[in-house]
Amino acid sequence: MEAELGDLPVLRRPAAGAGACYLGGTHWAHDQEQGVHGEHFAGLWRTDEGVVAVVYPMESMFGETVALFDVHTAADTIVVVEYAYALDGPELDAVDRARPGLAYSPSWAELAAHLGAPIPWWPYALRRPDHLTGWRPGDEPRPVEVVTYPSWEALYALAEREPAGSAVRRACFTIGHRIRAGASEEALKRMDHLRSWAAKPDTPLPLVFPAVPDTTDQGLAEVATDDIVGAGLAELCARTDEAAVECLEQVSAWSGAEDLPYGGTFNLTRKDITRAAAEWIDRLREVPPTALHQLEGADYDTVGTFVDPVTGSPVVAVKGKFSFRDTREITYIGRAPKRLPAGSVLKEVVLDDPVWVRTADGTVYPAPAMDAPGLAWGYSGSGPLTLAECVGRLLDDGGAHAVTYGDDGRGEEPGLVALFKEKHRRGTRITRRELERARTSA
């Protein structure tokens, strides 16, 4: 019988019943040289079967559990608390040092029996290193400021340095508060879900929650209207300091183009371009790099920074953006407007990448667009649907806003949808009269 039990993975064996000893925890940052593929916290417990390390990842990309033995050299068993759920709670992935090739998934009840205590569990947003390393069994739950990506902390840090009441200050506090509040709400939902799960008599889930989201939020008092947020972010885009670049990175990661003063990005090269694209390139004006220029060109070899004098949007010229193309090729990274000037009258649409529109005064613009949904033609899908809705709006109101995912109008322009599903040649120009005829033909 003892031999049979010895063949079982450690946490599958019956627990001896003696209480385990918590040895404390360690926060490990990303370190590829040591074989660890992600930041994490490991709490160590001495049990009758050896030292068990319970690991809580702090980022979504995480390596194989067995690789953690390289850094947690005192551990005999490693258990990783995964983000995904199993039948009895968050999934557990375990490996014993004695048999590193055998991975298994113990239940929460099995793990708790060996630890001799309920197992601490933190939502990702509450895995703040100083709290994790300071926790001890029996501690009362403590308020913890959420950890987020995008980072609300970077936005708050800049806001606190700005003058009271300024648009930049209020914009950064507003976006930061949205990020922070969203993470707090999600953490509470996950905790409530597990509480309800643990309350079921047929699902043993021996958990404790050592932390709750800290709801003391100085940003709440400075939350601003969308107009003020827009003004503040426009000012931030024009700055040149590193803090502004970092904050714009957080805003872009949080909401894409939704909160920025400009729409979605597009790429354009000088090779084999349409007349409309050539007009746009030729009117660009070179300027010193702003914070938004720096953000757009951060991952590339930037050779020039420009502004579109018509829309005011920044443009970055980079070399060798696409690995499968000529490394000397220059690509312009631009941003579409969210809307054309009030009173604009649509004259024609040019099918290109990006799609262009020309107004009655002869000015060419990238068609109003967000990062998504995108504008396209030549197939049956969301691109032609979105383009049809965009053009339909512009026919009615030249200053209409770009189509967003929250809009309900896609598919309500069957005539234009049919037109844009056709496989037109790139550079095809469609006049207003032709657009109106197609619109009424369905």
pLDDT at res. 130: 97
User: Does residue 386 register a pLDDT over 60?
Assistant: yes
Lowest mean pLDDT segment, chosen from 66-70, 196-200, 215-219, 342-346: 196-200
- Dihedral (CA of 364, 426, 316, 406) sign: positive
Of residues 395, 394, 343, 402, the one with CA closest to residue 375: 402
H or E element at residue 152: helix 152-161
Task: Round the average pLDDT of the chain to a whole number and report it.
Answer: 92
User: Does residue 398 register a pLDDT over 60?
Assistant: yes
User: Does residue 17 register a pLDDT over 90?
Assistant: no
Q: Express each pLDDT in 122-156 by its tens digit.
A: 999 999 999 999 999 999 999 999 999 999 999 99
Assign residue 17 a region (left: φ > 0; alpha: ψ between -120 and 50; beta: otherwise): left
309: Cβ–Cβ under 8 A, 6 or more apart, which residues?
283, 284, 285
Lowest mean pLDDT segment, chosen from 13-27, 85-99, 205-219, 327-341: 13-27
pLDDT at res. 38: 84
pLDDT at res. 324: 77
DSSP E strands in 165-322: the ranges are 207-208, 211-213, 265-269, 285-286, 301-307, 314-319
Instruction: Tell me the mean pLDDT in the region 319-334.
Output: 85
**Portion of the chain with pLDDT greater than 90, in percent:** 83
pLDDT at res. 199: 81
Read off the pLDDT band of 36 (50, 70, 90): low
Higher pLDDT: 409 or 103? It is 103
Q: Can you tell me which residue has the tokens 């969210």?
A: 338
> What pTM was computed for the model?
0.90
> CA-CA distance, 310 to 283, in Å (whole number)?
9
User: Does residue 3 register a pLDDT over 50?
Assistant: no
pLDDT at res. 405: 84
pLDDT at res. 2: 46
Domain ranges of the chain: 2-117, 152-255, 265-335, 346-441
**Portion of the chain with pLDDT greater than 70, in percent:** 95
pLDDT at res. 1: 43
User: Does residue 269 register a pLDDT over 60?
Assistant: yes
Tokens of 310: 């018509």
The CA-atom distances, in angstroms, between 228 and each of 224, 225, 239 are: 6, 5, 17
Q: How many CA atoms lie within 13 A of 253 on its CB side?
A: 16
pLDDT at res. 62: 83
